[in-house]
Amino acid sequence: MNPALQGLVTIIIGVGGCLAYFYFSNQFLDKVLFRAKGPNAGRNINRANLIRPWLFLFPAVFALGLYLAYPVVATLWYSLTDRNQGGAFVGLANYRQMMAEPKFWEALRNNMLWLIIVPAASTAFGLLAAQLTDRIKWGAIAKSLIFMPMAISFVGASVIFKLIYDTRPAGQNQIGALNAMWLQFEGGIGSFIVLRLLPGALMISAAALALFLVWQAVQAIRDKGMGAGAIVRIAFIGVLLFIAYSTLGLAYGAFTNVLPYGVPQTWLTIPGWNSFLLMVVLIWIQTGFAMVILSAALRGIPEETIEAAIVDGANPFQVFFKIKMPQISGTIVVVWTTITLVVLKVFDIVFAMTNGQWETQVLANYMFDKLFRASDWGVGSASAMVIMLLVSPILVWNVYNARKEMR
């Protein structure tokens, strides 16, 4: 059968079937099982109303259970068994095998970098765009244009950026924008400012910010004593110290690296840089999302608080950092976690642009590799469980918040 026709039939059967199911099951309940007539009418209505929610819920619960809940358990089981031994239980052997592979650690390390850089950069750019566009008349158009990459597939975005990163041999016209820009630098004072001073200063200020947050967290622990919150804060401090250390390292590198001026670079094959260039793709896509959400949050801030601050003589920067930022911190957390979830599952970009070569591997692509190229379901499942493990803090936090809201 022609797929298009098959699709049409599926829509009719699927949608019609759903509607028919809902209609007839309700009819059956009311007219046959518990008739709302005769001596037991009252009791029957109550009984019917006990069952009815489950009629409404059944297809959804069934699909959720089969397509999301069952796989979690099944994947856990597969990660503990070996397909080649007929599915025999092998304990943690798959995990051990995975840990022994340098590619896995490379994927994990890259994923950590993605987890730090992409949400941070997207949120920062989104906040900047939201704050700037809210102040001007044509802000709506500007927003819609910055938001546009949301509609573009990861694969499409990969093609777009591959064109930007494209390389031609030295001497030819460069058709990739990045190389064309790179060849403008020749080691003079301009190159020093743009390629050394600027990134160096940026990294040093990022390190300073991280250390400042560490200081605040330490203060908070000192004030509130050792409780459940202290454990979270200590973990937070650990991450921040790592960030500060790596940004300082990058700042040192920015000033001391020997830069090959005038030579076109094959960007996607330079370890270190290439991961970062892949992240740019995702940042480009996610900034619009962050901007839309944060812009709504900025508009939700009560005018009086801002007016009061201006009357008291606060400058625009103070208004932004001291008045607005604290009021939208909750939304920033939501945006951050949402982007974090996207980052953890990022697959298409790496798959399409480098396929994990040149040290750009990430967990989701590593897993795909294990599953469908190496046909190693055990290790593939084990790496899927690692992704699940990384997601679960957000899962718990979301559920906790949802329950709090319900009460």
Euclidean distance between the first and the last CA atom of the chain, given in angstroms as a whole number: 52
Element (H, E) at 82: strand 81-82
CA dihedral defined by 393, 399, 404, 405, rounded to 10 degrees?
130
Shortest separation between residue 137's beta carbon and other proteins, angstroms: 10
Interacting positions 262-321 with other proteins (CB under 8 A): 284, 287-289, 292-293, 296-297, 310, 315-316
Task: Round to whole Å and give the CA distance between 250 and 119.
Answer: 19
* Residue 232 in the binding site for other proteins (CB under 8 A): no
Q: Kindly tell me which of 156 and 200 has the beta carbon lying closer to other proteins.
A: 156
> What is the b/e burial string over 39-64, where b = at least 16 CB atoms within 10 angstroms of the residue's CB?
eeeeebeeebeeeeeebeeeeeeeee
The vertex-326 CA angle with 322 and 332, nearest 5°, equals: 130
Interacting positions 334-353 with other proteins (CB under 8 A): 334-335, 338, 341, 344-345, 347-348, 351-353
Task: Round to whole Å and give the CA distance between 233 and 214.
Answer: 9
* Residue 189 in the binding site for other proteins (CB under 8 A): no
Task: Round to whole Å and give the CA distance between 65 and 58.
Answer: 10
Which amino acid is located at 125 in the chain?
F
Shortest separation between residue 270's beta carbon and other proteins, angstroms: 18
Out of 220, 372, 373, 374, the residue judged to bind other proteins by CB under 8 A: 372
Interacting positions 4-33 with other proteins (CB under 8 A): 4, 6-7, 10-11, 14-15, 18-19, 22-23, 26, 30
Out of 162, 209, 246, 261, the residue judged to bind other proteins by CB under 8 A: 162
Out of 20, 33, 41, 155, the residue judged to bind other proteins by CB under 8 A: 155
- The greatest distance separating any two alpha carbons of the chain, rounded to the nearest whole angstrom, comes to 97
Residues that bind other proteins (rule: CB under 8 A) add up to a total of 117
Q: Kindly tell me which of 157 and 214 has the beta carbon lying closer to other proteins.
A: 157
Q: Kindly tell me which of 68 and 228 has the beta carbon lying closer to other proteins.
A: 68
Helices 377-406, 102-133: axis angle to 10 degrees equals 40
Which amino acid is located at 380 in the chain?
G
Interacting positions 106-145 with other proteins (CB under 8 A): 125, 128-129, 132-133, 135-136, 139, 142, 144-145
Out of 69, 194, 218, 235, the residue judged to bind other proteins by CB under 8 A: 69
* Residue 88 in the binding site for other proteins (CB under 8 A): no
- Residue span 31-60 as binding mask against other proteins, x where in contact by CB under 8 A, dash where not: -------------------x-xxx-xx-xx
Out of 41, 43, 70, 219, the residue judged to bind other proteins by CB under 8 A: 70
Interacting positions 200-229 with other proteins (CB under 8 A): none
Three-state secondary structure call for residue 300: coil
Total residues found in the chain within this entry: 407
Q: Kindly report the number of other CB atoms within 10 A of residue 347's CB atom.
A: 15
Stretch that binds other proteins, among 109-117, 191-199, 269-277, 389-397 (CB under 8 A): 389-397
Task: Round to whole Å and give the CA distance between 35 and 26.
Answer: 12
